[in-house]
Structure 1
Amino acid sequence: MLLHFKAFLTSSFSQRGILKQMRSVRTLCSHREDSEMKDLVDYIDSLKNYEKYGVPTGAGTDSNDGFDLGRMRRLLDRFGNPHSKFKLKPFILPGLKVILLVILRTEGYSVGCYSSPHIQTIRERILGRSGDPVSAKLLNNLFHRIKQDLDQAIKEENGCISHFEVFTAMAFILFADEKVDIAVIEAGLGGARDATNIISSSGLAAAVITTVGEEHLAALGGSLESIAMAKAGIIKQGCPLVLGGPFLPHIEYIIREKAVNMDSPVVSASDSGNNLAVKSFSILNGKPCQICDIEIQTVKDLKLSCKLHDLKLQMPGAHQLQNAATATCVTLCLRNLGWRISDESIRCGLERTYLLGRSQLLKSEEAKALGLSGATILLDLMKPTPKNLPKH
């Protein structure tokens, strides 16, 4: 997912200015650490970078014009297929990674996470066992360890290996090195031809599709229907599919049809029977929160069941309740696959999740740094509901 920022403030301060100044408040340390891996940054910046220069038309579709997953398979094979060495991988499109990380870590699992893009430093894309962005030292050491093989791979692929492919490979190698119990992988573009989609059905715990909007319209075929087909490319044979939604009926039909063809059971977080409700709003430890209920029904042979009443979610908004419900469905799927995840861990994980920039009340010194002394500022950098989707 390439983030589309939307800011709601008590003044008409520009989004671009907010992002620029907030970054300047917090980036000095990151810049100092990133100088330790200058060789790596220079190296990957010399590769094709579709995030920076734009994605070719149709590149994310399952067509002759699409990205070459064979190239990614050959690259990972060179490094011993590290993506096959950590146990299970929920595969995310997009957005639920932080909630899942907190729930799984609350239960005591070591969790890796790979996502894109980053805001301050490329290290943010890889979260290891510690839960923090990978250290510059660790990333730099890995780069120098594999550089000779990278050079050879790039030569053999006639220079076609991209910035994203190299960094995805590095993430998988790090997760294998750290022997994480589970990894949460976020697709970078669409799904079908994304570099992360080399994960096989035997290595996948669950696929998750949260929304279908108009991001990367040209790269994913030019229509909502083609985007839905591209995103459905992450569905694997026999692996559960969790839908966030809500979706337009014909878009959901496309995804569900692919799931049927792959014998993949489907769980919908937007099912009316799940009984999602925002009950009230409050302030918890100086932060806004909403009091919610989530009830999940049993879905076919997936023995889903969870009653979470009076949840205190620190990220207000109906969309965040939907995210919480989707994360709950994913963790229940994992539990039904044999993973130990208690209702209490789900509750604690949901209530402890908090993201900078998501329904965040800025401190007085942060408001002052933005030139808005004395103002009360609620910052919400979120992906808005596309105009052509049903509101929720």
Structure 2
Amino acid sequence: MSGQGQGPSAVDDDLRLRMALVAEEILQRAPENAIEPTLSRVEQVMDLMGSPQRSFPVVHITGTNGKTSTARMVERLLREMGLTTGRYTSPHLHDMRERIAVGGEPIDEQRFLDAYDDVLPYLHMVDEQSLAAEGPRMTFFEVLTCVAYAAFADAPVDVAVVEVGLGGAWDATNVADGQVAVMTPVAIDHAHLLGDSLSAIATEKCGIIKAEAIAVLAVQEPEVMQIMLDRADEVGASVQTEGVAFGVLEREVAVGGQLLSLRGLAGDYREVFLPLFGAHQAHNLALAVAAVEAFVGGGEQKLTDEVLEVACADMSAPGRLEVVRRSPTVLVDAAHNPAGVAALVEAMRESFTFGRVVGVLAVLADKDVEPMVELLEAVLDHVVITRTTSPRAVRPERLAEIAVAYFGQDRVSVVPDLPDALDTAAGLADEGGMSGAVLATGSVITAAEVRMLLGHRDA
């Protein structure tokens, strides 16, 4: 009938269509691994918008592995304390809106589109200026960072927990100044962008430590720690280090996770249940607790037992040694560098007693593949080599050559199509009876695509 407006379903359909078009528009920009050592474009957009990134305090997180898990832990603790939180993490598993969370939930379509519309005129202005000077348009990650900061300012949030995308000093997120700067362990990764030495990578990452901030540092290699301490001294930041000011006191494997005793900056916490697997997650939690103590009370205010208990019981790490199916058990893990795989291997040995484990392995070409394969051999009875939909994926034939060198021909199968590879692995795992399992790993994309194949679309 004429004169009647659209019904709710039509409005929802229009919203989803617009969101899909905007997402595709953003994805057409240079990918997030295409970075230049400059903050100028993001700074220009922020300046034109009135510096929304300065309208809320920030807990800023960098490192090589554990950033996203630590960010989720910090955000969950702060939310349990009654604060309205923003959380910006990367990469996403299924939907780019996962990267920008408000109040613990991915930003909804309308709020995302509103923030994008606010930012868009300024993006165009900066793009035009850059192109006129024969420079690039703003990248995918730069645009999303601007959208996140605009959305957090509009919400408004009481605090934003922000994970660095790549590196630190020149990362788009670094237009904000973190009151707390968190450093997870640093290892070699993205060497072609950040440098091929620990010292080069650490120098880039510690650029998020700002004047008068509190730097909360995980255990690091001595050369990395010294660079971080020097940076803090240079800018006048205070430092709290794991193993000295805070850390894991005791840890034991428990059903569905682990039971921990932690030392925080302001006191000890006993019998904390964390429903995540692996020593690395225990250390991530210690880092998160110290970061929250640093933010809320300058390191002098202990968290209540209730806050810690409730928040920890609700903590999750999608795509990080996550059980996504039973019978056979299928686990996914986003490990994509040797340090991440080493943590995965340790956690598998400690937390599970499968009689037979079959790997599904797909890796990106710019990664240090051989040591990853070598490490995985210790926990996999057989490996199915495949590839994801990413154009950066290593060719299965090439990955199989590396795998055969460590596993032997009889323990390696090549199935180029990922859905078929998952079916093949499940069949091989069933040969172990009820105790068989599948572990899909090698990249965030591998974890995401296996999750989706098994019906998991939320993160």
Corresponding residue number in structure 1 for 2:23:
41
Change (3 A) 1:172 1:340: farther
Identify the match of residue 323 of structure 1 among 284, 292, 297: 284
Corresponding residue number in structure 1 for 2:227:
254
Identify the match of residue 261 of structure 2 among 285, 290, 293: 293
1:139-288 correspondence to structure 2 within 5 Å = 139-158=112-131, 159-200=136-177, 204-244=178-218, 246-271=219-244, 274-282=247-255, 288=256
Taking only aligned residues, the RMSD between alpha carbons, in angstroms, comes to 2.8
Q: How much does 1:168 deviate?
A: 0.6
Letter in 2 for 1:90: V
Change (3 A) 1:357 1:45: closer
Deviations 1:184-209 (A, max 9, x none): 01111100100111123xxx320001
Change (3 A) 1:149 1:46: same
Change (3 A) 1:188 1:107: same
Aligned 8 A contact 2:248 2:260 in 1 = no
Letter in 2 for 1:133: P
* Structure whose CA Rg is larger: 2
Give, in whole Å, the separation in 2 of the partners of 1:144 and 1:388: 40
Q: How much does 1:230 deviate?
A: 0.2
Question: So what's the TM-score if we normalise by structure 1?
Answer: 0.75
Give, in whole Å, the separation in 2 of the partners of 1:174 and 1:67: 25
Give, in whole Å, the separation in 2 of the partners of 1:279 and 1:49: 41
Deviations 1:195-254 (A, max 9, x none): 111123xxx32000101111111211221110000001111012110012x221112111
Structure 1: gaps (5+ residues): 1-30, 60-65, 283-287, 297-303, 365-373
Give, in whole Å, the separation in 1 of the partners of 2:190 and 2:154: 33
**Is the partner of 2:329 in helix, strand or coil?**
coil
Give, in whole Å, the separation in 2 of the partners of 1:41 and 1:134: 13
Change (3 A) 1:116 1:274: closer
Give, in whole Å, the separation in 1 of the partners of 2:172 and 2:262: 34
Give, in whole Å, the separation in 2 of the partners of 1:182 and 1:111: 5
Q: How much does 1:273 deviate?
A: 6.8
Give, in whole Å, the separation in 2 of the partners of 1:80 and 1:185: 20
Give, in whole Å, the separation in 1 of the partners of 2:54 and 2:245: 37
Aligned 8 A contact 2:210 2:235 in 1 = yes
Letter in 2 for 1:376: T
Q: How much does 1:378 deviate?
A: 4.0
Give, in whole Å, the separation in 2 of the partners of 1:385 and 1:268: 24
Corresponding residue number in structure 2 for 1:354:
316
Q: How much does 1:352 deviate?
A: 2.2
Aligned 8 A contact 1:75 1:153 in 2 = yes
Identify the match of residue 76 of structure 1 among 43, 46, 58: 46
Percentage identity across aligned positions?
26
Query: Highest relative contact order (Cα 8 Å, sep 6+), 1 or 2?
Result: 1
Give, in whole Å, the separation in 1 of the partners of 2:162 and 2:246: 29
**Is the partner of 2:339 in helix, strand or coil?**
coil
Give, in whole Å, the separation in 2 of the partners of 1:153 and 1:274: 44
Give, in whole Å, the separation in 1 of the partners of 2:315 and 2:79: 11
Aligned 8 A contact 2:260 2:270 in 1 = yes
Change (3 A) 1:32 1:156: same
Letter in 2 for 1:180: V
Question: So what's the TM-score if we normalise by structure 2?
Answer: 0.65
Change (3 A) 1:306 1:132: same
